[in-house]
Amino acid sequence: MTTSELAAPIAGMPRIGDPAPSFTAETTQGEINFPADYLGKWVILFSHPADFTPVCTSEFMTFASMQQEFAAYHTALVGLSVDGLYSHIAWLRTIRDKISFRGMKDIEVTFPLIDDVSMRVARMYGMIMPGEDSTKAVRAVFVIDPTGTIRAIIYYPLSLGRNFDELLRVIKALQTADHFAVATPADWRPGDRVIVPPAGSCGTAEERMGGHVDGVECEDWFFCTKELPAQEVESAIRGA
C-alpha cells in the first residue's frame, strides 16, 4: 500500500436510510457489482480485520455454517477485509482443511469475500476507525434491504466476535416490521407480541384504550401491542 493510500481521508460512515454506496470489486467468487447484483435480496455486508486471525476465523466458520439459514430469509452474505485475493483464498482453504471450532469442521466458505487491499471499499463504508486501527477494518455489519437501502448498522471492535443469533434476529425483525407494518419491542423474537403503530387520532386512541380494537392491548394510548404468531411470521417472511 502506498503512502498516499495510507494517508487518504477516512470517509464518513453511511447512515441508516441511505442508499448503500456502490462499488465493483474482485472477490473469492469473482467480480461483483454492489449492491446492483443483489437487488431483490437482503444482504449482510460485513468486514473483518484480517485473514489468518483467530476471532475472524471463528466468525467465518459461523457465517458459513449459517449461510443456508440466512438464505431461508432471502439474505445473502458478503464479506470484506483489507487483504488481497490470494490471502483470502489461502485462508479459506486453511479453514476448510485444518480448523475445527465448536463442532464445526470441513467448513467451505462459498459466499464472496472482497479483495480490498487498497481500503477503497472499507473507507467508503467507514469501516476504518483509526482510534481502533488505521490499517485494519473493524467488525462492521451493514444490513441492506432489497431496494439497496441500508436498514441497520452494527459495529464491533477488533477483539469482540459478533453475536450471530442477533444478526439473524435483526433480519427477521426488519422483515416482520416491513411485512406487517409493526415495530418490534426489546428482545423480540418471532412469536412475541409486536408494537402497534401509535394512534393517529384521539378517536383511534380512545377505541384502543377502550378495548374496542380486536387483539390490541394498550398500557396507555401510545403503548399498544398485539399477538403475531410465530408461524404467521415465519410463513410471511420466509415465503416473501
Does the annotation flag 139 for ligand binding?
A: yes
- Of 84-88, 159-163, 207-211, the poorest mean pLDDT is in 207-211
The predicted-structure confidence for 142-158, as pLDDT tens digits, reads as follows: 999 999 999 999 999 99
Q: What is this structure's pTM?
A: 0.90
The rounded mean pLDDT for the chain is 91
Report the chain's terminal Cα–Cα distance, integer Å: 44
Does the N-terminal peptide bond of residue 35 adopt cis geometry, omega within 30 degrees of 0? yes
Section 63-78 average pLDDT: 98
Cα of 133 vs its chain's centroid, Å: 22
* Cell output for 37: 447484483
Q: Which residues pair with 152 in a beta bridge?
A: 143
The predicted-structure confidence for 76-101, as pLDDT tens digits, reads as follows: 999 999 999 999 999 999 999 999 99
pLDDT at residue 198 above 60?
yes
Question: Which residues participate in catalysis according to the annotation?
Answer: 56
Provide the H-helix boundaries in the chain.
3-6, 54-65, 67-71, 85-98, 120-124, 164-180, 202-209, 230-239
Q: Nearest 5°: phi and psi at 223? A: -125, 90
Cα distance between residue 197 and residue 195, in whole Å: 6
CATH superfamily of 181-239: Antioxidant, Horf6; Chain A, domain2 (3.30.1020.10)
Section 224-236 average pLDDT: 95
Provide the residue count of the chain.
240
Q: 3-162: which CATH topology?
A: Glutaredoxin (3.40.30)
Q: Domain residues of the chain, as ranges?
A: 3-162, 181-239
pLDDT at residue 5 above 60?
no
Strands 194-195 and 113-115: unpaired
